Each structure stands twice: as C-alpha cells, then as structure tokens.
Amino acid sequence: MTRASLPVSALTSGKLPSKAARRTKSFRFDDDGFILDVDSFVKTIATIKANGARPDHIGSVIAHYASTRLPQLSSSVVTNNQQQSDSVTAYVLKKRFLVETLIGILPLEKDSVSCNFLLRLLRTANMVRADLDYKTNLEVRISWQLEQASLIELMIPSFSHTCGALFDVELVTRVVKNFAILYSEGVKSGASLIKVAKLVDSYLAEAAADRNLSLMEFISLTDALPKHSRGTEDGLYLALDTFLKAHPDVTKQERRRLCGLIGIKKLSMEASLHAAENPRLPVRTIIQILFTEQTKLNFGRHNNNIDCNVSSLSRNHSGSHFLEPSPGWCMSKFDMNVQQAEIRRLRDGIGKLHSECEAMRRQLKKEKKGGKSSTGNTCGSNWYFRWKMLRFSKCFSTKDVEKTAVRLEVTKKEKKSLSLRI
C-alpha cells in the first residue's frame, strides 16, 4: 500500500484501505464516546467534509483529536517502566500510523490548521520515523505559514543517531529555503519576510550555543534568506557571537567568513560598540565597524549643521533672523560632548593664532628698528609668516582658513604702509 494515497481514498469513500483497516483493528483508542479508533475517525472526517464543513473547522477537529491521543501514548511509555520491548515497538507503530493518518487527512487549504500544530506534528513524525513523503508534505505546508510560527515550536530536536547536534537545523534550513522560494515567486510579502528573518535570527542564537552545531549548518541557515530580509543585523550578530563563544577552536579564516555574513552598516550603535570591544572578532572586522560608525557620525553631524543653517535663515514677523530648532528635536548628551570638544579645539587654535600674530608684531618692530625697509626682505618675511599661519590653520574648517587669509592680507597692507612711511 502506498501511504500517499491514503488521504484521497479515506476522504472519498470514508474507509481505510484493506491493509490499513487490518492494522487499525488492533489499534484501539479510548475517547469518552467520541472516536473509537482511527478508522471511525477517518469516516467521521469524511462525513464532515461531505456536509460542506469549512476547512478550518475540519482542521480544528483533527488538531483536537491529535492533542488528546498523542500525549496519552507518550505518557504511557514514560510512566510504565515494566514494559517489554515488543510493547514499546507496538507503541511506536501505533503512533507512527496515527501520525501518518493525521497528516494524510489534513485539509489542503492554507491556514486550515495553525503552523504551531504542524510543527508539533512534524516533531512527532520525526520521533516515530514516519515516511519521508509525509514529513516532506509537512515541511512544505509549514513553509507556507512560517511567519506564524513561534520559536519554541521551531526548536525541533534532532532524532538522528548520526548527527550530534541538539536541534534539527537542517530541517529548519529546508523549511526556510522553501519560504524563500515562495517569496521570490511573489507569493509571500515583504512583511512576512521580515518576520521570518527575525525568527531565524532568534533560532540561530539558541542553536548556536550547541557545540555540536557545525559551521556549514550555521552558514547555510544564515544564507537561506536574501540579504535585504533583515532591517537590522543585531539578531544575527548575537547569534554569531554566541557561536564564537561555543566554538573557541574556530580558525581565523572561518571567523572572517562568519563575519562576512553580517551587514556592518545595519548594526545599531549598541551592537557596534559591543563589537568594537569583542576580542572574538577579527581585527579587520572591528576596523570596518569603527570606520562605519565614524562615517555615520560625520553624516549625522553634517545633516544637523544643514538643519541649523536652514532654520537660521527663517524670519519672525518683525523680519529679524532667529534660530528656530526643529520641533521635537533634542540634542543628545553625546552630541553635546562632541560639540564642546570642537569648541575647545577651536578655542585652542584661536589662542595659538593670537600668539602667531603677536610674534608678527614683534618681528615688524624689529624690522622697523633695524631699518630693514627692503621690499624683497619684507615680502620674504611676509611669505614666511603667511605659510606659517596657513600651516597652523589646517586644524580649522574652511571658514577659519578664509578668515585667516583675510587677516594676512590686512597685515600685508599694514606692513607695506609701514615700509612706505619709513
């Protein structure tokens, strides 16, 4: 018997195939007078569907039946310590048959059952080693509703004996890749993509703490979604930092490869400050983060200066200029400290400029007393002081340099007038 044909035959005829019916006779379940066995449950679902019931109503009936049957089977194994090996095998066979039957009779319509119920059903299907076709069917259905999933239900354990990882990351990667295909085809919206990206980052942060999680599994799940799916990279940075903590033996080349997964420009200020002091990150990555934050800071200061210049040109009713700050704008403490440091730097520069001017005056007095009235010497001295002033004025802005040049021109005229008088 091909189990893939179970849903069609069960829902059309209301009966299980002959082999499934023979297996069902020995799998009786108590249910307070509602459902006696899987065969009668399938017939009930077929009757409900024939009467034109809504798919979400049928899905709620199946979810209720599963929630009342599967926990009872699970508790019977845990509480009874004297069960023989054959009874445990019978339990697994019963549960596998029940899970495969439930998967087969699920309504095909979207949102007929919740995504969390599908994840719980997939967890049980992996535990009892259901057929691959049924598990693949569940994975595809989950990818259609992945934005509705919760993190705790997505943390499906790995039941493989060959894999030492705690969680089944490969399963989640397949589901996320199916969702990405739906998004590329225009089936899923951008809002759903953002929700799934946040869910994946949270999942990675939890799964990365497992020392048995391989580097390729981490990278594969990270690359399952497009780059523009994350509005901020803070969640992915947290997952990366958790992975590096749990895997201290990662090589430098692997660290650089992991850091290449993060969009540095999308890190927040808090994440950038943490990354700048993170000894687990490569030095090149830290330099890139610092350079990016410095660029953001300079760009923000430039925009603030433009806003101040525009607002200073506004006029009041009397026609006088006044500074009108933008509504709701408040300077942060960090910006105030930066501006105060800039003011102190300019003040020190002005003091040094004043000292240079005094030195020029003293030099002029010496030239006057010594009778040095030659035009060539005066020009040479003038150029000496001019270059000296321009060299010092590099620390100023363009406006400061222009003001200094004007002062030098005035000083030049004064010296010429003094030489003519002499």
> Per-residue confidence at 404, pLDDT binned at 50, 70, 90?
low
Of the residues 144, 179, 214, the one at which a domain ends: 144
Instruction: Please indicate, yes or no, if residue 296 is contained in any of the structural domains.
Output: no
According to the per-residue pLDDT averaged within each range, which of 50-54, 300-304, 353-357 is highest?
50-54
Q: Tell me the range of 45-54, 63-72, 196-205 where mean pLDDT is highest.
A: 196-205
- Give 16-67 as a DSSP string: --HHHHHHHHT-B---TTT--BHHHHHHHHHHHHHTT--HHHHHHHHHHHHH
Strand (E) or helix (H) holding 410: helix 398-421
Who contacts 107 (Cβ-Cβ below 8 Å, separation ≥6)? 55, 56, 58, 59, 113
Lowest average pLDDT, out of 1-15, 184-198, 250-264, 292-306, goes to 1-15
Residue percentage of the chain with pLDDT more than 70: 64
Residue 206 lies in a domain: no
Residue-wise pLDDT tens digits, 82-137: 444 447 787 788 888 889 999 999 998 888 999 999 999 999 999 989 999 999 99
243 contacts 262 by C-beta, under 8 angstroms: no
Domain that holds residue 404: 343-421
CB of 234 closer than 8 Å to CB of 271 = yes
Angle of helix 85-104 relative to helix 18-25, nearest 10 degrees, comes to 130
SS3 200: helix
Task: Check pLDDT > 60 for residue 199.
Answer: yes
Q: Is residue 166 domain-resident? A: no
Determine, yes or no, domain membership for 373: yes
Is 289 within a domain?
A: no
Choose the final residue of a domain: 144, 174, 191. 144
Q: What is the pLDDT of residues 206-220, one digit of tens each?
A: 999 999 999 999 999
Which of 144, 170, 193 is the C-terminal boundary of a domain?
Answer: 144
Neighbours of 5 (CB within 10 A): 11
Lowest mean pLDDT: which of 69-73, 183-187, 215-219? 69-73
Give the number of other CB atoms < 10 A from CB of residue 262: 22
In terms of C-beta density within 10 A (0-12 exposed, 13-18 middle, 19 or more buried), how is residue 138 classed?
buried
* Strand, helix or coil for residue 217: helix
Q: Model confidence at 244, in pLDDT bands (50, 70, 90)?
A: very high
Give the pTM: 0.62
Sorting pLDDT into bands at 50, 70 and 90, what band is 254? Answer: very high
Asked whether residue 110 is assigned to any structural domain, the reply reads yes
Q: Is residue 5 over pLDDT 70?
A: no
Helix/strand/coil for 315: strand
Residue 418, pLDDT score = 47
- Report the share of the chain in percent with pLDDT over 90: 34
Q: Tell me what the pLDDT averaged over the chain comes to.
A: 75
Please spell the DSSP secondary structure of 142-191, one letter per residue: HHHTGGG--HHHH-PBP--SS---SB-HHHHHHHHHHHHHHHHTTSS-HH
Q: Are 261 and 240 in contact (CB under 8 A)?
A: yes
Q: What's the confidence (pLDDT) of residue 76?
A: 42
Does some domain include residue 121?
A: yes
Query: Is 199 inside any structural domain?
Result: no
118-128 pLDDT per residue, tens = 999 999 999 98
**Amino acid 65: pLDDT:** 86
Number of structural domains in the chain: 2
Tell which wins on pLDDT, 87 or 52. 52
Please report which confidence band the pLDDT of residue 335 belongs to, taking 50, 70 and 90 as the band edges: low
Residue 153 has pLDDT above 90, yes or no: yes
